[in-house]
A and B are shown apart, each in its own frame.
Chain A
Amino acid sequence: ELKVEQNPLFLSMQEGKNYTIYCNYSTTSDRLYWYRQDPGKSLESLFVLLSNGAVKQEGRLMASLDTKARLSTLHITAAVHDLSATYFCAVGSNYQLIWGAGTKLIIKP
């Protein structure tokens, strides 16, 4: 059974700092997704990672995938308040997605 673990579950940090969110999964998968969710809203797709060593960057967010270690990271560089949200990783299993618990990120000015 595929399980997905995110770490940490909650993170409060100050603007300008860097931090990394981790997503571990238990069995082989060929795709991993990162989503953002603002309070009361649905999910916004951030990154789709398909191959070992894949690295994608959008603004201050960078995601990477290591399929051998079954690990994906979401790195935040020089955080700004607008990045405050809950971030989910999800791993593809057949046509379904197996979800991490989410990381609630609060960035203080």
Chain B
Amino acid sequence: GAVVSQHPSWVICKSGTSVKIECRSLDFQATTMFWYRQFPKQSLMLMATSNEGSKATYEQGVEKDKFLINHASLTLSTLTVTSAHPEDSSFYICSARSFRDNSYNEQFFGPGTRLTVL
């Protein structure tokens, strides 16, 4: 149980294009999904928290117009990197928190998406 998938797993795109990353909870409903970014040899950096049906809450320093987050259903959240540039190249990881009583407040992580912008 508690499986989270991400798609695509790896994407290479040209500078100026937009890239959409999907995060799905496969066997549970997720009230809250989190988007993280990880640079090589660094820890995870929380970008935003998204709740189903409402606007995402972005962390300080994260441009909401650059990183568009949509959480349209209890099993799907998408992150769109708009007008991507080489500095957006990174490993993006989503996680999901279960809708049901989750006394651990545990997050379940997707496998990650490696974005390379040329």
Binding site for B on A (CB under 8 A): 31, 33, 35, 40-43, 45, 48, 50, 88, 92, 95-97, 99-102, 104
The segment from B13-21, B42-50, B69-77, B79-87 found at the interface with A is B42-50
The answer to whether B44 touches A88 (Cβ under 8 A) is yes
Q: Verify if B24 is at the interface (C-beta below 8 Å from A).
A: no
Chain B window 96-111, contacts with chain A (Cβ cutoff 8 Å), 1 for yes, 0 for no? 0100000011111111
Q: Within the assembled complex, what's the spacing in Å between the Cα atoms of A43 and B104?
A: 17
With A31-B104, A96-B46, A99-B43 already in contact, 12 other A-B pairs whose C-beta atoms are closer than 8 Å: A40-B91, A42-B112, A45-B109, A88-B44, A92-B105, A95-B97, A96-B34, A96-B49, A99-B44, A100-B43, A101-B43, A102-B43
Q: Within the assembled complex, what's the spacing in Å between the Cα atoms of A45 and B105?
A: 13
Number of B residues with CB within 8 Å of any CB on chain A: 21
Most chain B C-beta atoms within 10 Å of own C-beta, residue among A33, A42, A45, A97: A42
Please name all residues of chain B whose beta carbon is closer than 8 Å to the beta carbon of A102 when the two chains form the complex.
Answer: 42-43
Please name all residues of chain B whose beta carbon is closer than 8 Å to the beta carbon of A97 when the two chains form the complex.
Answer: 34, 46, 107
Ranked nearest first, the 10 interchain pairs of A and B with the lowest CB-CB distance are: A42-B112, A43-B109, A42-B111, A99-B43, A101-B43, A42-B109, A102-B43, A99-B44, A48-B104, A42-B93
CB distance from B91 to the nearest CB of A (A): 8
Beyond A42-B93, A43-B93, A100-B43, whether A95 also contacts B110 by CB under 8 A is no
The answer to whether A41 touches B112 (Cβ under 8 A) is yes
Q: Within the assembled complex, what's the spacing in Å between the Cα atoms of A92 and B34?
A: 14
Nearest opposing residue in chain A for B38, CB measure: A37
Nearest opposing residue in chain B for A93, CB measure: B105
The answer to whether B114 touches A40 (Cβ under 8 A) is yes
Q: Within the assembled complex, what's the spacing in Å between the Cα atoms of A88 and B44?
A: 9
Which residues of chain B from 1 to 29 have a CB within 8 Å of any chain A CB?
A: none
CB distance from A89 to the nearest CB of B (A): 10
CB distance from B32 to the nearest CB of A (A): 6
Partner of B111, one of A35, A41, A45, A101: A41
